[in-house]
Amino acid sequence: MIATPQPQAMTAQDYLTWETQQELRYEFVDGTVFAMTGGTLPHNDIAINLLSSLRPTIRPQGCRINIADVKVNVSPSIYRYPDLVVSCDERDQTTLNAIHHPKLIVEVLSPGTEALDRGEKFKEYRTLPSLEEYVLISSTDISVEIYRRGEGRLWLYSAYQSEDTIRLESVGFELAIGLLYEGVFFEG
């Protein structure tokens, strides 16, 4: 999804109240709101394929899985909308406006969001003590990258290609990359 800045500056509480009255979703970063625009069909298909495959593993673990329309409270002044988020923290089971303790965050990369997802968002997400894995999935070719929390501030990197099976250690899940991209067509 592409974020477009809006001219208003507001507090986090003002944002939370204001956004509930909006037709679009808005991310919030340090007083500035950014409208979230729609993604492509491959972007949507990939997110749905992952959700459909992952949900049967997640729910029996007592975890919550959400897609696209659920924001993550990264800090008191930052709210982001990842493409998919999993929280296994009891405190997030009954939350109403945002996930606060994500275990797994997934972003499906689009040409307009890739730099933000790889850069600023990952920098922000790394500050969440509960986050164990950050997954980047390409929507323009078959490629998945996973960052896993290591010791201290170390993040371990794994890259996956078309014949691989991705492994999400944080939730004990494996999926053939072919299933993740099932029914997904690329330009060209």
Does a structural domain hold residue 25? no
Does a structural domain hold residue 65? yes
User: Tokens standing for 40?
Assistant: 């492509």
Cβ contact 139:43 at 8 Å: yes
According to DSSP, residue 99 is labeled: B
Q: Which of 146, 110, 153, 102 is nearest to 128 (CA)?
A: 102
Does a structural domain hold residue 53? yes
CA count, 13 A, side-chain hemisphere, 99: 29
Domain count, the chain: 1
Q: What percent of the chain has pLDDT over 90?
A: 85
Does a structural domain hold residue 30? no
Does a structural domain hold residue 61? yes
Does a structural domain hold residue 11? no
Which range of residues forms the domain containing residue 169?
A: 39-180
> Is 60 exceeded by the pLDDT of residue 7?
no
Does a structural domain hold residue 98? yes
> Is 70 exceeded by the pLDDT of residue 188?
no
Does a structural domain hold residue 2? no
pLDDT tens digits, one per residue of 41-70: 999 999 999 999 999 999 999 999 999 889
| Cβ neighbours of residue 55 closer than 8 Å, sequence gap 6 or more | 65
**According to the model, what pLDDT value does residue 151 have?**
92
Q: Using CA atoms, how far apart are residues 50 and 166, in angstroms rounded to an integer?
A: 11
Burial of 69 (0-12, 13-18, 19+ CB in 10 A): exposed
CATH number at residue 152: 3.90.1570.10
Q: Using CA atoms, how far apart are residues 87 and 63, in angstroms rounded to an integer?
A: 6
Q: Using CA atoms, how far apart are residues 143 and 161, in angstroms rounded to an integer?
A: 5
**According to the model, what pLDDT value does residue 182 have?**
97
Q: Using CA atoms, how far apart are residues 63 and 68, in angstroms rounded to an integer?
A: 17
Across 9-13, 20-24, 65-69, 146-150, the highest mean pLDDT is recorded for 146-150
pLDDT tens digits, one per residue of 104-153: 999 999 988 899 999 999 999 999 999 999 999 999 999 999 999 999 88
Average pLDDT for 171-177:
97
